[in-house]
């Protein structure tokens, strides 16, 4: 969840960290932002956004709760954006939002910019290999990225600058969110540990790392489950058995929801968010398995090649959550054997893996517990599972009919 995101040269507004800077930022990420204690500290904010997700979808079911058509891509991306904004800025909205609890124009603009940056982050750029070409923008990437980062700066920078000023003037004394944590850090001399530019870069890094994986996994998994109703029913049965219908699923329930986690893990395996991981560079000659990798090589891992490898996975192109159970006491979303790539691995693995896992499973669990899902009549009884052109997202955003399945008093007001 760290320096991979700022590695591309055309992120013009972000300074790529030196070795010492990278070590400093990684230490801050591990010790200050994504430690177990910090995760617990932010629990209430995550629950608030899980409640808001349920409220948002419930409001689309009509006043009588008879059911409504829901765009799952918008719902999932909105939830992920809400969680990250809440943890970082202690606010859900940059504007006023919508009356039904959905994203306003500002939030839609913000999430669109994030996904634009992520799309180009994973793309091939000729100037990455021939730095002298930077500035010529032969691929047209720099113009797009500059505009997207400008959008993020438009929403982030005023909040960050104001917060820094509040701490300088003593108007704030106790951290309330991750931005406060970054601003309040001090060095050995009692001075601010991070500059304003470092804080702004780190905030963008966190934003980019928090929205794509969970939302993409939910959309694909639910599409697959709608086409295989027996899988959807097993997930619902697990929720009813572990949680029941008289209260909402909470993070404390997640360790017991192995089938839900197996569904999410299967989505990561079969439908990764991108074909490859962000490229890494070999710092020395090395050998991995039977491959010799010379120093200076750019190394890519194929998410598709790992997750759909027929030598590893039985029926690799079929959505089968049961394959991840195997008698395991607790299913996790990562794979130490690197048979699939969910949150990366090694030194550059996702520092926010615990947060990413809780966001992903709560997204799955709340939507599956709160609503009965069905295929819209105009879809012909089956969801089209075609992949998009030039990416691995669903070609068409998943739209499904949602009906409340819990007693009215259980839903957040």
Decide if 64 is inside a domain: yes
- When divided into structural domains, the chain yields a total of 1
Distance of alpha carbon 86 from alpha carbon 178, whole angstroms? 9
Full residue range of the structural domain in which residue 221 is found: 42-410
Decide if 376 is inside a domain: yes
The phi-psi region of residue 90 (left if phi > 0; otherwise alpha if psi is between -120 and 50; otherwise beta) is left
Neighbours of 347 (CB within 10 A): 9
Going by C-alpha positions, the residue among 335, 412, 362 that lies closest to residue 51 is: 412
Decide if 6 is inside a domain: no
**Tens digits of per-residue pLDDT, 167-197?**
999 999 999 999 999 999 998 898 999 999 9
Please check the confidence at residue 328 and state whether its pLDDT lies above 50.
Answer: yes
Does the global pTM surpass 0.85?
Answer: yes
Decide if 149 is inside a domain: yes
Specify the CATH number for the domain of residue 267.
1.10.630.10
Please check the confidence at residue 66 and state whether its pLDDT lies above 60.
Answer: yes
For residue 263, say whether it is annotated as part of any ligand binding site: no
Decide if 241 is inside a domain: yes
Residue 226, classed as helix, strand or coil, is: helix
Decide if 324 is inside a domain: yes
Decide if 194 is inside a domain: yes
**Tens digits of per-residue pLDDT, 373-411?**
999 999 889 999 999 988 899 999 999 999 999 999 999
Decide if 142 is inside a domain: yes
Higher-confidence residue of 378 and 98: namely 378
What residues does 287 pair with on adjacent strands?
292
């Amino acid at each position: 969840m760290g320096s991979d995101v700022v590695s591309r040269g055309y992120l013009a507004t972000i300074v790529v960290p030196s070795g010492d800077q990278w070590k400093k930022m990684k230490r801050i990420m591990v010790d200050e932002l994504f430690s177990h204690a910090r995760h617990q500290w932010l629990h209430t904010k995550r629950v608030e956004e899980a409640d808001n997700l349920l409220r948002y979808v419930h409001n689309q079911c009509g006043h009588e709760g008879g059911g409504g058509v829901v765009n799952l891509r918008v719902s999932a991306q909105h939830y992920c954006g809400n969680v990250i904004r809440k943890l970082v800025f202690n606010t859900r909205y940059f504007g006023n939002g919508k009356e039904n609890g959905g994203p306003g124009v500002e939030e839609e603009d913000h999430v669109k910019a994030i996904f634009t940056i992520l799309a180009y982050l994973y793309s091939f750029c000729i100037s990455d290999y021939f730095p002298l070409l930077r500035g010529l923008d032969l691929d047209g990437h720099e113009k797009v990225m500059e505009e997207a980062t400008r959008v993020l700066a438009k929403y982030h920078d005023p909040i960050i600058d104001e917060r820094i000023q509040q701490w300088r003037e003593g108007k704030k004394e106790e951290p309330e969110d991750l931005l406060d944590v970054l601003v309040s850090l001090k060095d050995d001399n009692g001075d601010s540990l991070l500059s304003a530019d470092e804080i702004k870069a780190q905030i963008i890094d966190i934003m980019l790392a928090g929205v794509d994986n969970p939302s993409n996994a939910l959309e694909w998994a639910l599409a697959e489950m709608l086409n295989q109703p027996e899988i959807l029913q097993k997930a619902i049965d697990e929720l009813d058995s572990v949680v029941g219908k008289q209260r909402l699923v909470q993070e404390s329930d997640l360790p017991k929801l192995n089938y839900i986690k197996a569904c999410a893990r299967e989505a990561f395996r079969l439908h990764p968010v991108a074909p490859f991981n962000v490229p890494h560079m070999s710092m020395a000659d090395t050998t991995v398995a039977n491959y010799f990798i010379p120093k200076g090589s750019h190394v890519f891992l194929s998410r598709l090649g790992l997750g759909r490898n027929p030598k590893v996975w039985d029926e690799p192109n079929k959505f089968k959550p049961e394959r991840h159970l195997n008698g395991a006491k607790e299913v996790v979303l990562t794979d130490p054997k690197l048979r699939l790539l969910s949150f990366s691995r090694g030194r550059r693995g996702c520092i926010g893996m615990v947060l990413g896992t809780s966001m992903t499973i709560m997204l799955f669990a709340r939507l599956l517990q709160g609503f009965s899902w069905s295929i819209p009549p105009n879809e012909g009884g089956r969801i089209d599972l075609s992949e998009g052109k030039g990416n691995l997202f669903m070609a068409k955003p998943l739209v499904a009919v949602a009906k409340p399945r819990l007693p009215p008093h259980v839903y957040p007001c």
